Each structure stands twice: as C-alpha cells, then as structure tokens.
Amino acid sequence: MELEIVQAGHPVLRQQAHSLTPGEIAGKEIQTLIESMRKTMHEAPGVGLAAPQIGLSLQLAVIEDRAEYHKDISAEQLQERERRPVPFHAIINPRITERSDDVVEFFEGCLSLPGFSALVPRARSVRVEFLNERGIKVILEASGWYARILQHEIDHLRGTLYIDRMHSHTFASLENWNKFWKGKPISEIKAACNLKFER
C-alpha cells in the first residue's frame, strides 16, 4: 500500500516523534508499516522516508540508496560525495552518538518539500545507535552520503527539516538548480551566492 507523503506546513513534521518498544516493532502493524514505507520511498523515488513524512509521529525511518539512482551522476561527483549504494534497512529510535568535526556541504532535497533544493552543511561522518526492523540494537559508523541521509532522516524524527540547516541563499527550484548549479563545484556556487567560506 502506497502512503501519502505530507508536505511542509503539516504540524507532524515539526513534532518530536514517539519511540517504539521492541514489542511494537515486532508487531504486525509496524512490520506492515515498514513495508508500506519501503514501497512509498521507491515510488517517490527517494533514498529515505521518515514516519512523520507519512503523518505518523513515530521514531521510524527507512533508508535505501539504490545503485540505479547513481547512473546519471558522474563518477567524479559520486567520489566527491562519497556516495555508494546502501541496502534497505529501517532505523528505529535512532540516536547520533558521535559526529565528525569535518563538515561537508552538498545540495539536498526532501520528499516533503518537492521541487526544491539547497546547500546543507552536515557532518562528514556519524556514529548512530538504533533498533533495526527486527528490534535488534545496531551501532554503525557511516560517512559520506550515507551519513548525510542518516542525519536528514534523524532530523525528521526531531521535527527538523533541511531548510532549518540550509544556506538560505542557495535555496532553489529544481528547475533552476539544473539550469544554473548542476555539476558546478560547491566553491563556485557559494561564491556566486555570496556565501562566506566560514565553517
């Protein structure tokens, strides 16, 4: 069953989501929800989807960065973004326990703000603790694009959107992003948008 993705302005996107117990995770309702979220994410398409984005205030998100999503991205850009395929998994009650001081900036979009993108600074690497779709505790370290996806989705569970972290001068429609910024170095984009190179 494909779910409806709620859009910016919906109150649920600004709430602190509720945690789930291992018993709830194992139940049919949450297992069905995870599968429905997976299908909805694929249909969108996107690399992550958080429960608040489908109107549910739950600390649950699904993530998958498929190799097929990389086919229109140059090898240089994939390397710059440290972007590699990530298999499907759910993150439940996630907590970032460590962030690198190394901050990187790339354009991000969001299924709850379709048609727009902006330059967003994020920690290059993170350590995250969460329960997986089987209710098993997982501790993982991620870097590059995967770390960015994790931070974006965990933000959703705290009522935060990428527009809260973006360089506002770089906020653009996807049409204009493709027209003016696609494939250009971040340093050139920042200079054109009058952004200082401070961290």
d(CA 196, CA 58): 37
Q: Which two tokens stand for residue 167?
A: 């360089």
Query: 105, 108, 133, 153: which is the annotated catalytic residue?
Result: 153
What domains can be seen in the chain, in order of their start residue?
11-102+122-160 (3.90.45.10)
Token duo for residue 47: 């690399």
Beta carbons within 8 Å of 5's beta carbon, 6+ residues apart: 40, 44, 49, 53, 54, 111, 112
Q: What is the pLDDT of residue 28?
A: 97
pLDDT for 197 equals: 47
Closest CA to 91 of 116, 122, 118, 126: 126
Q: How would you write the pLDDT of the chain (199 residues) with one tens digit per residue?
A: 679 999 999 999 999 999 999 999 999 999 999 999 999 999 999 999 999 999 999 999 999 999 999 998 889 989 999 999 999 999 999 999 999 999 999 999 999 999 999 999 999 999 999 999 999 999 999 999 999 999 999 999 999 999 999 999 999 999 999 999 988 889 899 889 887 644 4
Q: Give residue 198's pLDDT.
A: 44
pLDDT of residue 26: 97
The pTM of this model reads 0.94
Catalytic residue list contains 153: yes
- Distance, in Å, from the CA atom of 145 to the CA atom of 82, rounded to the nearest integer, reads 6
Bridge partners (DSSP) listed for residue 105: 121
Question: Which residue is listed with tokens 């429609």?
Answer: 173
